[in-house]
């Protein structure tokens, strides 16, 4: 389980001015919705208000939990469904304000009118939100708890109310009924919050429903953690609670209450972090607003990409640019392109040969034995010495041949054929005869080949190293000769292909020019949109 760790500066000072500047830029672009939300963040920063939102299904016990935490029966709870709109509870002098859709703000006395207020709290049709100020709790005037409508509500107004609360929430308590933890809606909602940078604490409520004989509680907790991990969700904390059975052995209510108090004590750090994340999210939404504004122009441009061009995906800007560049090169200087192809293949061949290591310690040892057997006076045994000497020479030659052939096969021959075999593909050529010739290409390493590299009079250890270098160099020279001959054959085929396709390339280039211009205009649109977002992020992060 991940512990909460806040990464932003430990103060919200100065953020209000930055947010107001961002809001002004959004307003200038005609983005009223995100302008209003950013202004709300600026006001929140100015007042240094911290809010913790309680979310979850209607049956999760949010309102009852808040009442219990505050020690006051301020919210409607079972058997009546919980709040149908946002109810904000903060500290301060006693006061209740009910913000209605059509009759303005109604005020009530929390000591005498709470039952009436509770009815407003479950009235999602005429009421937008309710604010209750009440002293004597762990909340002060600048800290509040938000009770939100159930996320399972089908009422669009409820969803808007919840989103409004989450927009201004600095942390989210997501409550779930013990029996409904692994509902897909829980994972989707929690992941959305985490993706927006919100600290999210899960409260698994009503654990008194747990039956140990079905599954021990530790296993149940492990299954919860595994389920969220499967969705790549790391909540900032998980608490298991029971309000019906306060003495339940697994009840973490007190731990949860302490965590809430701790969050409120971290006001400056939590607030700065929350405001920054919320502003970043609104900037993302502003970029989407700009994209929507440009949708018609973008659609017109994209219609130009619907033409069919053989071997090309018109919607792939990089592919179009590359194809256009290739066509321009071919038409402007086919001879130069041919030379470039030749130089490229020869360079790749040279690089392969230079980097191929053909002699190792075992090769050096075998070479030393072989060279020793060629020295004048080399002799083995007393009886039948001549025969034994020749047999030993043959054995040592075979040992060097076997070792060196293995190294050449694994470290050069395989890679040589792989490289030469890929060259036609690089230039769009199909030639089975060429591939067969590459496959059959072979450099014979014989005893005569090894003997030819021996210099008379050699006998030192240093010479053994030089000899190994010589046989490696000689083999590479043979592979170079083979490779260059194959490249020449391929180049002849390439040159003929260029000449045959000259007319087609001109026609194709015209189509590519049109596509490239369309992509340029699309990229300019996107660049304008992204630069707008980048400018706002710069204001947020640097005050630029």
Model confidence at 5: pLDDT above 50: no
Q: What is the pLDDT of residue 435?
A: 92
State the CB neighbour count (10 A cutoff) for residue 262.
Answer: 11
Any idea what the Cα angle at residue 90 is, between residues 87 and 91, rounded to 5°? 155
Same domain, 78 and 227: yes
Same domain, 278 and 369: no
CA gap 21, 25 in Å, rounded: 6
Model confidence at 458: pLDDT above 60: no
Q: What is the pLDDT of residue 446?
A: 94
CA gap 208, 533 in Å, rounded: 49
Which of the residue ranges 67-76, 226-235, 285-294, 433-442 would you say has the lowest mean pLDDT? 67-76
Same domain, 243 and 361: no
Strands ordered across the beta sheet of 50-56: 105-108, 95-100, 127-133, 86-90, 143-147, 50-56, 171-177, 200-205, 237-240
Which pLDDT band holds residue 288 (cuts at 50, 70, 90)? very high
The pLDDT tens digits of the residues spanning 48-101 come to 989 999 998 877 888 889 999 999 888 876 544 455 678 889 998 988 888 887
Q: Is residue 537 part of a domain?
A: no
User: What percent of the chain has pLDDT above 90?
Assistant: 50
Domain boundary among 273, 293, 313: 293
Strands 143-147 and 95-100: unpaired
Q: Is residue 450 part of a domain?
A: yes
The owner of tokens 């071919």 is 330
Domain boundary among 293, 316, 346: 293
Q: Is residue 224 part of a domain?
A: yes
Helix (H), strand (E) at residue 204 = strand 200-205
Which pLDDT band holds residue 129 (cuts at 50, 70, 90)? confident
- Average pLDDT, rounded, for the chain: 86
Same domain, 216 and 340: no
CA gap 413, 18 in Å, rounded: 65
Same domain, 371 and 445: yes
CA gap 341, 494 in Å, rounded: 9
Which pLDDT band holds residue 336 (cuts at 50, 70, 90)? confident
Structure tokens of 116? Answer: 């009436």
Q: Is residue 41 part of a domain?
A: no
Contact in structure between 286 and 536 (CB atoms under 8 Å): yes
Model confidence at 6: pLDDT above 60: no
The pLDDT tens digits of the residues spanning 226-278 come to 999 999 999 999 999 999 999 999 999 999 999 999 999 988 889 999 999 99
Contact in structure between 436 and 424 (CB atoms under 8 Å): no
Model confidence at 145: pLDDT above 50: yes
Model confidence at 1: pLDDT above 80: no
Same domain, 247 and 348: no
Same domain, 278 and 393: no
DSSP state of 4: P
Same domain, 213 and 280: yes
CA gap 437, 161 in Å, rounded: 74
Q: What is the dihedral of CA 200, 7, 272, 57, to 10 degrees?
A: -10
Q: What is the pLDDT of residue 7?
A: 39
Q: How far is CA 516 from the centre of its chain?
A: 29
Question: How confident is the model over 398-402, as a mean pLDDT?
Answer: 95
CATH of the domain at 268: 3.40.50.300
pTM exceeds cut of 0.75: no
The pLDDT tens digits of the residues spanning 472-527 come to 999 999 999 999 999 999 988 888 877 776 677 788 888 888 888 998 998 899 89
Same domain, 204 and 80: yes
Q: Is residue 86 part of a domain?
A: yes
Q: What is the pLDDT of residue 431?
A: 86
Q: What is the pLDDT of residue 123?
A: 65
Q: Is residue 314 part of a domain?
A: no
Q: What is the pLDDT of residue 229?
A: 93
CA gap 132, 139 in Å, rounded: 12
Number of residues assigned to the chain: 544
Domain boundary among 500, 517, 536: 500
Q: Is residue 404 part of a domain?
A: yes
Any idea what the Cα angle at residue 181 is, between residues 179 and 184, rounded to 5°? 125
Helix (H), strand (E) at residue 188 = helix 184-195
Same domain, 272 and 347: no
Range of the domain at 284: 25-31+51-293
Q: Is residue 85 part of a domain?
A: yes
Same domain, 289 and 338: no
Question: How confident is the model over 130-149, as a mean pLDDT?
Answer: 90
Model confidence at 183: pLDDT above 70: yes
Same domain, 389 and 278: no
DSSP state of 454: P
Model confidence at 221: pLDDT above 70: yes
Domain count, the chain: 2
CA gap 161, 265 in Å, rounded: 27
């Amino acid at each position: 389980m991940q512990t909460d760790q806040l990464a932003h500066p430990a103060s919200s000072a100065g953020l209000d001015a930055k947010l107001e500047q961002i809001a002004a830029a959004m307003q200038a672009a005609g983005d009223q919705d995100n302008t209003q939300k950013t202004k709300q963040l600026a006001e929140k920063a100015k007042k240094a208000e911290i809010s913790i939102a309680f979310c979850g299904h209607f049956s999760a016990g949010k309102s009852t939990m808040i009442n219990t935490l505050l020690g006051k029966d301020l919210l409607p709870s079972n058997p009546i469904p919980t709040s149908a709109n946002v109810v904000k509870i903060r500290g301060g002098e006693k006061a209740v304000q009910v913000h209605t859709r059509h009759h303005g703000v109604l005020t009530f006395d929390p000591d005498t009118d709470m039952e009436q207020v509770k009815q407003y709290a479950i009235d999602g049709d005429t009421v937008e939100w309710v604010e209750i100020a009440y002293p004597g709790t762990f909340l002060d005037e600048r800290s509040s708890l938000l009770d939100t409508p159930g996320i399972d509500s089908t009422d669009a107004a409820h969803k808007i109310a919840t989103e409004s609360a989450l927009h201004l929430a600095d942390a989210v308590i997501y409550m779930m009924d013990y029996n409904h933890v692994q509902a897909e809606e829980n994972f989707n909602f929690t992941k959305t919050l985490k993706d927006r940078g919100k600290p999210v604490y899960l409260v698994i409520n009503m654990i008194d429903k747990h039956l140990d004989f079905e599954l021990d509680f530790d296993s149940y907790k492990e299954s919860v953690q595994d389920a969220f991990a499967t969705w790549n969700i790391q909540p900032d904390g998980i608490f298991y609670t029971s309000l019906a059975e306060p003495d339940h052995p697994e009840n973490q209510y007190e731990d949860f209450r302490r965590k809430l108090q701790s969050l409120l004590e971290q006001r400056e750090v939590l607030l700065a972090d929350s405001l920054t994340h919320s502003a970043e999210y609104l900037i993302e939404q502003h970029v989407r607003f700009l994209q929507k504004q440009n949708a018609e122009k973008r659609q017109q441009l994209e219609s130009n990409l619907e033409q069919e061009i053989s071997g090309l995906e018109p919607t792939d800007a990089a592919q179009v640019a590359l194809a256009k560049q290739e066509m321009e090169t071919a038409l402007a200087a086919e001879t130069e392109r041919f030379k470039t192809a030749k130089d490229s293949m020869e360079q790749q061949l040279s690089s392969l040969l230079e980097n191929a290591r053909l002699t190792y310690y075992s090769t050096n040892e075998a070479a030393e034995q072989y060279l020793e057997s060629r020295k004048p006076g080399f002799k083995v045994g007393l009886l039948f010495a001549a025969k034994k000497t020749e047999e030993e020479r043959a054995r040592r030659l075979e040992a060097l041949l076997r070792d060196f052939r293995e190294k050449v096969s694994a470290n050069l021959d395989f890679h040589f054929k792989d490289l030469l075999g890929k060259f036609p593909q690089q230039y769009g050529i199909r030639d089975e005869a060429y591939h067969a010739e590459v496959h059959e290409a072979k450099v014979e390493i014989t005893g005569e080949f090894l003997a030819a590299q021996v210099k008379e009079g050699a006998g030192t250890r240093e010479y053994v190293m030089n000899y190994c270098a010589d046989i490696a160099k000689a083999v590479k020279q043979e592979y170079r000769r083979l490779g260059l001959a194959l490249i020449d054959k391929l180049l002849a085929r390439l040159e003929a292909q260029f000449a045959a396709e000259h007319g087609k390339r001109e026609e194709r280039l015209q189509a590519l020019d049109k596509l490239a211009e369309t992509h340029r205009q699309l990229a300019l649109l996107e660049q304008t949109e992204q630069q707008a977002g980048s400018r706002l992020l710069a204001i947020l992060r640097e005050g630029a």
